[in-house]
Structure 1
């Protein structure tokens, strides 16, 4: 029975793999590059402010410039799952999690290059530890993707970006004011609480990634219906 199942599953897997490869070009065309580029441009401008201001740059200015840059990037990434044709692509024999992963895979390499440039724009004497500040940026990005994935899964939104970006902006502004002091999320390099605070950032990152992964899956009912309608299952 195991051999029969494996043999029966092979055409299905091949069909899904072929459909996924076929989707690369259409998905690349539907990625909201304008929103991503706009967020990236604003982020680079924010990261460059300390260098452009002239004079001595403090660690406080350096780390907050990069936090502002990360927030701008996350605001652009909130539009990543916007897809006016979502109802059409939902009929293909490729799971939603794979379609979303394909979008992320197209964006992650330029995003990594962008973040490297943003970090290097901050003067070296004021630059925070790259690893720790990257965790902060990754958390903001993961929260944006989790919010968009949640809106797609629970609300069936085709364009969740605007609402998610607005929520993320409000959260980014209020978080430094409302975060408990013992979490130390918004400390500066040299503060004794810096290491503990970034332990909390890592916890938030793991939680955001888990939430995004869960929200990227399809509801059981919709998954069952698509399985029955898929040509590869007939």
Structure 2
């Protein structure tokens, strides 16, 4: 297995959607740099820019399982969880570097609690991965990234409009609901991780028995 993984690493690296990841990373950095260019940046502006940067990175992550040769690589003697895990393992350090740079770009005077805003980003990343993994398991699409990214964007837009105030997720730092909102973010992260785990295995295909000719 280890030999196969080593043999797969370079081909998988080459097929990763680096353009989408690079574009989302650069955009996230530009968003994080805005408070530095403002004369008197506010915490409200900064936290929403960080949320937007996290969403942009998640949109790039939605393409991570895209594989034009999906139906060819399915014949490789390595199960899908291993192949998908390898793609994620190669992307994870890059994603972590982007997010760290985003946080460091924000002036410390207006930077929201790092653990809490990182929890929000982690939930967004987990939702992107769960959506991509579910699309791979439930459909025959080789490149579901565009559909998953569009769905994630629509979800991000509609959630603040449809959720009741008592279930709000996007709250201001000084809002008394901040702690409760991040408890809900944690639940969302765990839920997305569960969906991701459940959708990782290969889909079981049942073959109908052929009629017996007598």
Q: Deviation of residue 172 (structure 1)? A: 1.3
Query: Post-superposition shift, 1:220?
Result: 2.6
Q: Which residue of 1 aligns with 2:88?
A: 104
Corresponding position of 2:141: 157
**How far 1:93 moved relative to its partner?**
1.4
User: Is 1:132 aligned with 2:116?
Assistant: yes
Query: Partner of 1:31 in structure 2?
Result: 16
Provide runs of 4+ in structure 1 moved above 2 Å.
Answer: none
Q: How does the TM-score come out when normalised to structure 1?
A: 0.85
Contact 1:47/1:119 (CA < 8 Å) preserved in 2?
yes
* Mapping for residues 75-154 of structure 1, pairs under 5 Å: 75-154=59-138
CA distance in 1, matches of 2:71, 2:203: 15
1:70 is displaced (CA, Å) by: 0.3
1:62 and 1:123 in contact (8 A); partners too: no
Q: What does residue 231 of structure 1 align with?
A: none
The two structures, once aligned, show a CA RMSD in angstroms of 1.4
Task: Measure, in 2, the Cα distance between the counterparts of 1:18 and 1:213.
Answer: 25
Residue from 7, 11, 20 that aligns with 2:5: 20
Whether 1:211 aligns to 2:195 is yes
- Deviation, structure 1 residue 109: 0.7
- How do 1:67-82 residues align onto structure 2 when only pairs under 5 Å count? 67-82=51-66
Q: Retained in 2: the 8 A contact 1:43–1:118?
A: yes
Cα distance in structure 1, aligned partners of 2:59 and 2:87: 16
How far off is 1:56 after superposition?
Answer: 1.1
Q: Identify the residue that residue 29 of structure 2 maps to in structure 1.
A: 44
| 2:46–2:106 CA contact under 8 A, matched in 1 | yes
| Distance in 1, Cα, partners of 2:46 & 2:110 | 5
Q: How many residues align?
A: 207
Cα shift at 1:36 = 0.5
Q: 1:57–1:125: 8 Å Cα contact kept in structure 2?
A: no
1:185-231 deviations in whole A, cap 9, x for unaligned? 11111211111100000000000011111111112338x9xxxxxxx
Unaligned runs of 5+ in 1: 1-15, 225-234
Which of 118-127 and 25-34 deviates more?
A: 118-127
Partner Cα separation in structure 1 for residue 162 and residue 107 of structure 2 = 30
More helix, by proportion = 1
Q: Per-residue deviation at 1:74?
A: 0.6
1:56-113 superposed Cα distances (whole Å, 9 cap, x missing partner): 1111111101000000001111110010111111111111011101001001111111
